[in-house]
Amino acid sequence: MHPQIALRRRRTSAGLAAAVATMLALAGCAVQPAPSPSSVPPSPATSPNSEVAPGLPITLDPAVIPGLDSSVDETLQAGDYYYISLPKVPGQEAWTKALRDELTPQLDRFTASTPGTAKAPYPEFDANWDLVASSPKVVGVRLSTDEYGVNGAFAGKVEYAWLDLAGGVIRPSSDLIAADQTAEFFSRVRTAAAEESSIDAELIRTQIAGDWKGGLNAVGFTTTGRLWVEFDRTKATQAHGSVGVAIRSDGLLSEFGQAARTAALTPTDPSTGQSAPTTAASTPVPSATSAPASPSPSIPKPTATKSTSAKPTATPTPSDTPNCRKLKCVALTFDDGPVAGTATLLDVLKSKGVHATFFVVGKNAAVNRSLIRRMVNEGHVVGNHTWSHKQLTRLTDSGIRAEITKASDAIVKGGAPTPTLLRPPYGATNATVSKVAASLGMAQIMWNVDPLDWKDRNSAKVTQRVLAATRPGSIVLSHDIHPTTRAAYAAIIDGLRAKGYTLVTVPQLLGTITPGKKYFRR
Ligand code: ZN
């Protein structure tokens, strides 16, 4: 473990607040369909830079860093439609705080620009991350935000934040490039961008002009070791997609850049220098070039979780399954995890002999695979809360499908059965979401008891609200990412049982479910 370090952020003159580069898009707003990996042009083979294939932008399996966790920080949230996730590297809590501090002004500005709660579509702010490099010398993450302001106006940014473990600083992307190679770097970027028909070079002129003052701060690596350079997607193209180019890295990298490249291509545990035993070195991102928007760094094959039909599916009912036709059944549901702290809630449920239903975020399931396995082993049901917690009602059919199937893939990798239960983030659904859910064989599980645990983060209030609002057949919503919620559940379970309730999973509560249908209670 590395000593705790006081991080200071090295800045380029443009500063990180400058709206940088591209993002991963979420297809929101009626964008184009998400491509399947095979539909993405794999590489601009025509590029004069292509002595080696450009490869695909790297995102790493989070298992390379044991104990890596998502910090799902709702204390940053100023509204109902905010989802903020940052990386939490063991021993590097100061880094998470630095990233969080950096995000705060952007959030404040967004909140100030979206007063009140207007009408749907509601203002939405999402922040997500991907691990892109890891070694005892350097850890890299790609941070992306999506902002949907008043009337759905889209903004957001992407940056790569490079943690220099030896120096104890967060370095900007410019530090990957040797100072005397700046001109050559931008020259290669300009050439590559000019070859991309989907990039409007004029619109990103300032970013590629020849120095870092234009705000470029999203540089990583591809699977073949090239530099991956992302642009401000709100400028580079009309689409919301991830927009960038892969350029040759030879001769360009600083000493730090070379260490970062090694950490991207052959990632190791920052504490031990060991590579992860069970994981592949890297997972390519399909949107290698200026490909159209993809809802997440890798697009699942639609077949991965596709059910055979939209017929109602009966839940297996062992003889000891509670009979909810006769009993006062209640289903406890927990959203947004798993995070490391979810283990404490699992401890409570285990000690009380309660089985619950967890609607997990795919990105968090990928980070905390062992907790998915534990949920299954201890009799809980794992449902799908999408890959990156986007408001699905903004997305196209294929964007919705990708958000769901990628999460299901991560859940299955964790050891759970393919989910048949979907909880749309924010409870936001419409005819398109219902149609996609039905085609994937999934029912939409809403709720009718909401203690607003994310808002107050007060165990006593959460307990009192759940006990006051629960009725026979209720589905109770909570969030296992909050310590205050986890701490409330021993008392909630005791209180519900004292009122004669039987605590069951959602499948036990509902019995036969119909794909696509919305359920608020039994
Ligand atoms: Zn949620």
Across residues 180-207, what is the average pLDDT? 88
Query: What is the whole-number distance in angstroms between the Cα of residue 320 and the centre of ligand 1?
Result: 31
Roughly what angle, to the nearest 10 degrees, separates helices 342-352 and 483-498?
20
Instruction: Give the pLDDT band of residue 304 (cuts 50, 70, 90).
Output: very low
- Ligand 1 centre and the CA of 324: distance in Å? 27
Query: Sorting pLDDT into bands at 50, 70 and 90, what band is 307?
Result: very low
pLDDT at residue 157, rounded to an integer: 86
**pLDDT higher than threshold 60 for residue 126:** yes
Calculate how far, in angstroms, residue 514's C-alpha sits from the geometric centre of ligand 1: 22
Instruction: Please report the pLDDT score of residue 237 as a whole number.
Output: 57
Whether 329-519 and 17-265 are alike in CATH topology: the answer is no
CA distances from residue 164 to 40, 87, 90, 403 in whole angstroms, order as listed: 33, 15, 15, 32
State the average pLDDT for the chain.
82
Question: Ligand 1 centre and the CA of 457: distance in Å?
Answer: 15
Instruction: Check residue 319 and report its DSSP letter.
Output: T
pLDDT of residue 150: 78
Helix (H) / strand (E) element for 462: namely helix 459-469
Please give the Cα distance from 468 to 492 (Å, whole number). Answer: 10
- Look up 479 and say whether it is catalytic: yes
Token pair in block for residue 26:
């979420």
Given this model, what pLDDT does residue 151 score? 74
pLDDT at 387: 96
Identity at 420, one-letter amino acid code: T
* pLDDT (0 to 100) of residue 6: 44
Q: Per-residue pLDDT averaged across 345-361, rounded?
A: 98
pLDDT, greater one: 510 or 107: 510
Strand partners, 503: 330
- Which residue pairs, CB below 8 angstroms and at least 24 apart, start in 98-107? 98/7, 98/9, 98/170, 99/141, 99/143, 99/161, 99/170, 100/71, 100/73, 100/76, 102/9, 102/16, 103/76, 103/127, 103/145, 104/76, 105/17, 106/17, 106/145, 106/157, 107/76, 107/78, 107/82
- Residue 301 burial by Cβ neighbours in a 10 Å radius (0-12, 13-18, 19+): middle
pLDDT score of 13: 35
User: 230 phi and psi, to 5 degrees?
Assistant: -105, 145
Which of these ranges, 81-90, 257-266, 470-479, has the smallest mean pLDDT? 81-90
Q: Give me the catalytic one of 69, 335, 336, 453.
A: 335
Residue 51 pLDDT: 53
Superfamily holding 17-265: Fervidobacterium nodosum Rt17-B1 like (3.30.565.40)
CATH superfamily of 329-519: Glycoside hydrolase/deacetylase (3.20.20.370)
Q: What's residue 43's pLDDT?
A: 40
Is the confidence at residue 385, as pLDDT, over 60? yes
Higher-confidence residue of 455 and 80: namely: 455
Task: Tell me, in angstroms, the distance from the centre of ligand 1 to residue 389's CA.
Answer: 6
Cα Rg, the chain, nearest whole Å: 23
**pLDDT, tens only, 438-456:** 999 999 999 999 999 988 8
What's the whole-number mean pLDDT along residues 135-142? Answer: 97
For the chain, percent of residues with pLDDT exceeding 90:
61
Cα 380 to ligand 1 centre (Å): 18
- How many residues belong to the chain? 522
Average pLDDT over residues 370-383: 98
pLDDT at residue 46 is higher than 80:
no
Helix (H) or strand (E) holding 484: helix 483-498
pLDDT at residue 393 is higher than 60? yes
43-52, 90-99, 105-114, 282-291, range with the lowest pLDDT? 282-291
* CA distances for 101 relative to 17, 73, 81, angstroms: 11, 12, 20
Lowest mean pLDDT among 270-284, 459-473, 498-512: 270-284
What's the confidence (pLDDT) of residue 80? 72
Tell me if 140 sits within 8 A of 156, measured CB to CB.
Answer: no
- What is the per-residue pLDDT for 503? 98
**Nearest of 49, 39, 268 to residue 140 by alpha carbon:** 268
Tell me how far the alpha carbon of residue 27 lies from the centroid of ligand 1, in angstroms.
19
Q: Does residue 355 carry a catalytic annotation?
A: no
- Give the start-to-end residue ranges of the domains of the chain: 17-265, 329-519
Q: In this structure, are residues 32 and 168 in contact, taking their beta carbons and an 8 Å threshold? A: no
Asked if residue 281 has pLDDT above 80, the reply is no
pLDDT of residue 310: 43
Distance 385 CA to ligand 1 centre (A): 7
Q: Which residue of the set 453, 479, 480, 482 is catalytic? A: 479
pLDDT band of residue 335 (cuts 50, 70, 90) is: very high
* CA dihedral (33, 36, 39, 43) positive or negative: positive
Q: pTM for the full model?
A: 0.82
Under the banding of pLDDT at 50, 70 and 90, the label for residue 183 is: very high
Please give the helix or strand (H or E) that residue 397 lies within, else none: helix 397-413
348 touches 493 (CB < 8 A): yes
Taking the CB of residue 10, how many other CB atoms lie within 10 A of it?
15
Report the alpha-carbon distance of residue 313 to residue 309 in Å, rounded: 9
Residue 206: pLDDT band by 50, 70, 90 thresholds?
confident
Omega into 115 within 30° of 0, i.e. cis?
no
pLDDT at 313: 47
348: CA distance to ligand 1 center in Å?
21
User: What's the pLDDT band for 120 if we cut at 50, 70, 90?
Assistant: low
Which of the residue ranges 23-37, 104-118, 274-288, 384-398 has the most confident prediction, judged by mean pLDDT? Answer: 384-398
| Helix or strand holding residue 59 (H, E) | strand 58-59
- Asked if pLDDT for residue 1 goes beyond 80, the answer is no
What pLDDT is attached to residue 309?
41
The pLDDT of 98-114, averaged and rounded, is 89
Tell which residue, 452, 376, 442, has the closest CA to residue 403: 442
pLDDT of residue 221: 98
